């Protein structure tokens, strides 16, 4: 069974950093693109970033370019999202997802609240 | 970004047929996908590449369309289907619709 378990969320002040992790199991992690998708309270889903199987190619939405870094450790079957210079508009539930052209498996999500 | 416009919230009764639309201004070929999300839960893939049912999804769910106009249908609706449904295109980067909230009449 495919499982994706996020961790690392919480309350953080504007301008500070936070790193999210996603532990994957139940499939060959190194064979799949992965992604982070977020959802602000009462809002729709928003793609954040994607990463290739080996980690050498990454994609970001414009609003997080230069602030967020997606990475992966295929030895540890873990996906990461390093978030720097956080803003209030980054407040959301962050989901880790397995990616084909679509997102076929999702984690349960982790809440990130950016507030002073 | 490719903006996806979804139909607004819909009120339905069990046993009815419901159709949710998703429109774009530029073609995404067949790279349109649909997700179901219930309160407090993660999204669940229902339909991928316009019309393909994800594993374990009942046949009363279906999708159709191409280019810029896409449709997601539930026929017949069951009470367990009360949720928010979101379209997602991956033809031009990745964007999601705002979601259509299905409610009981």
Given this model, what pLDDT does residue B71 score?
Answer: 97
- Of residues B87, B102, B96, B78, the one with CA closest to residue B11: B102
User: Which pLDDT belongs to residue B7?
Assistant: 82
> Is the CB of residue B84 less than 8 Å from the CB of residue B92?
no
CB contact under 8 Å between B33 and A108, yes or no, is: no
CA distance A89 to B44: 25
Give me B10's structure tokens: 């819909």
Listed residue (B38, B32, B42) closest to A97, CA to CA = B42
- Please, which residues have CB within 8 angstroms of residue B18's CB and are 6 or more apart in sequence? B10, B12, B73, B74, B75, B77, B102
Tokens of A114: 């950016």
Look at residue A20 in the predicted model and tell me its pLDDT: 98
Contacts of B30 in chain A (CB under 8 A): none
DSSP B80: G
Do A73 and A67 form a contact (C-beta atoms < 8 A)? no
Mutate to test the interface with B, among A35, A45, A98 (most CBs of B within 10 A): A45
- In this prediction, residue B38 carries a pLDDT of 97
Using the Cβ of A8 and the Cβ atoms of chain B, whether some distance falls under 8 Å is answered with no
Using a CB-CB distance cutoff of 8 angstroms, which residues of chain A are in contact with residue B97? Answer: 44
Evaluate whether A115 touches A18 at the Cβ level (below 8 Å): no
Mean pLDDT within A33-58 = 97
Q: Which residues of chain A lie closer than 8 angstroms to B96, CB-CB? A: 44-47
pLDDT band at A19 (very low <50, low <70, confident <90, very high): very high
Angle (CA) B105 B54 A54, round 5°: 130
Say which residue, A100 or B63, is predicted with more confidence. B63
Query: Least CA distance to A5: which residue of chain B?
Result: B42
Phi (first) and psi of residue B100, to 5 degrees:
-115, 120
Interchain pair A44, B43: CB under 8 A: no
Q: Which residue numbers of B have CB closer than 8 Å to A's CBs?
A: 31, 33, 35, 37, 41-45, 48-49, 54, 86, 88, 90, 93-99
- The mean pLDDT of A58-71, rounded to a whole number, is 98
Give the span between the Cα atoms of B104 and A20, in whole angstroms: 37
CA atoms within 13 A on the CB side of A8: 18
pLDDT at B8: 77
The whole-angstrom separation of Cα B45 and Cα B53 is 9
The tens place of each residue's pLDDT in chain B, 105 residues long, gives 899 999 879 999 999 999 999 999 999 999 999 999 999 999 999 999 999 999 999 999 999 999 999 999 999 999 999 999 999 999 999 999 999 999 999
Distance from CA of B77 to the nearest CA of A (A): 23
Residues B34 and B32: their CA atoms lie apart, in Å, by 7
Span A67-79, pLDDT tens digits: 999 999 999 999 9
């Amino acid at each position: 069974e495919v499982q994706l378990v996020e961790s690392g969320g919480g309350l953080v002040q504007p301008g500070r950093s936070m790193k999210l992790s996603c532990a994957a199991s139940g499939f060959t992690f190194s064979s799949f693109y992965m992604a982070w998708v977020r959802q602000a309270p009462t809002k729709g889903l928003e793609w954040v970033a994607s990463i290739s199987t080996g980690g050498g190619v990454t994609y970001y939405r414009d609003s997080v370019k230069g602030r967020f870094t997606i990475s992966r450790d295929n030895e540890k079957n873990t996906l990461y999202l390093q978030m720097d210079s956080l803003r209030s508009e980054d407040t959301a539930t962050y989901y880790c997802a397995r990616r084909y052209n679509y997102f076929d498996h999702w984690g349960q999500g982790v809440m990130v609240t950016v507030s002073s | 970004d490719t903006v996806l416009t979804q139909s607004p919230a819909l009120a339905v009764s069990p046993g009815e047929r419901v159709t949710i639309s998703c429109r774009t201004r530029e073609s995404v070929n067949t790279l349109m996908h649909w997700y179901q999300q219930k309160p407090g839960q993660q999204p669940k893939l229902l339909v991928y590449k316009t019309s393909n049912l994800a594993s374990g999804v009942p046949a009363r769910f279906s999708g159709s369309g191409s280019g810029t106009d896409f449709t997601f249908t539930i026929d017949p609706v069951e009470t367990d289907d009360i949720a928010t449904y979101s379209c997602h295109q991956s033809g031009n980067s990745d964007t999601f619709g705002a979601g259509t909230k299905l409610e009981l009449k």
